[in-house]
């Protein structure tokens, strides 16, 4: 006798994708997705963790093209799917600012907001002849630029990689040059030729990209000091 086939793979919830404002249907993670993510997290390999997250979201949100969505879209989608899968709260450890005692802090994933959502892809003027067309980075861009946090990667190198992942094209009076058609060496040469003031314009765009954000207040269990923290980015919530 065959075992019954469950229908838990049907989408039952709705959410709005931040950058497109499109309403999509989704389902919670099933055991198969949770197993894959647990294996990835145990590996502590950022690339494997990211791949697992993308595959899981793709399974839970039918018809979505993750290659075209911004990184913050996917981060937000992950929190929403997870909240319906293993509970609407996430428990994180945070050290007290006064005594450094680690405290368990519960975060309601439904309360997470998008910070900086007023930032739009834009044309940044470098000088009278040259402008840079910026875009929201996708995780494909992140993988291509290898923008992963590690002890071996300096903050400056990570910032430069993030800037490159946000650059779509360079416009001159004669042509529109797509960054994807240029070699890494050519892109590096262009960035290195900028003045500090010109680079700051690109940096401002990157540093103000929309991001998951949530303010949390808790009293330390040891010294009772009130702590006020702002969580930003997917890594802060889990």
pLDDT digits (tens, 9 = 90+) for 139-163: 988 887 665 555 556 788 888 999 9
User: Would you call 14 exposed, middle or buried from its count of C-beta atoms within 10 A (0-12, 13-18, 19+)?
Assistant: exposed
CA-wise closest residue to 83 among 94, 73, 75: 75
Residue 60 CB contacts under 8 Å (≥ 6 apart), including other chains: 11, 26, 27, 28, 29, 33, 81
Going through 47-154 in order, the beta strands assigned E by DSSP cover 89-95, 102-108, 113-115, 123-125, 131-134
pTM for the model:
0.83
Residues in the chain where the model's pLDDT stays below 70: 116-119, 145-153, 238
Query: For residue 151, what pLDDT is reported?
Result: 52
Query: For residue 152, what pLDDT is reported?
Result: 59
Query: For residue 4, what pLDDT is reported?
Result: 80
């Amino acid at each position: 006798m065959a075992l019954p086939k469950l229908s838990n793979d049907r989408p039952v919830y709705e959410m709005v994708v931040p950058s497109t404002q499109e309403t999509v249907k989704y389902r919670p993670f099933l055991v198969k997705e949770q197993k894959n993510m647990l294996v990835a997290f145990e590996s502590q390999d950022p690339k494997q963790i990211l791949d697992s997250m993308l595959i899981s979201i793709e399974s839970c949100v039918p018809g979505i093209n993750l290659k075209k969505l911004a990184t913050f879209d996917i981060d937000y989608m992950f929190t929403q799917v997870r909240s319906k899968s293993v509970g609407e709260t996430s428990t994180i450890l945070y050290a007290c600012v006064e005594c450094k005692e680690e405290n368990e802090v519960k975060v309601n994933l439904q309360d997470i907001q998008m910070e900086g959502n007023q930032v739009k892809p834009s044309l940044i003027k470098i000088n009278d002849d040259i402008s840079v067309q910026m875009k929201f980075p996708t995780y494909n861009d992140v993988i291509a630029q290898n923008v992963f946090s590690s002890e071996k990667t300096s903050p400056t190198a990570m910032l430069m990689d993030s800037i490159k992942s946000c650059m779509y094209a360079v416009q001159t009076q004669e042509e529109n040059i797509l960054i994807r058609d240029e070699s890494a060496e050519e892109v590096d040469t262009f960035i290195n030729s900028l003045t500090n003031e010109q680079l700051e314009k690109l940096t401002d765009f990157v540093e103000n990209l929309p991001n998951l954000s949530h303010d949390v207040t808790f009293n330390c269990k040891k010294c009772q000091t009130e702590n006020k923290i702002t969580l930003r980015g997917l890594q802060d919530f889990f």
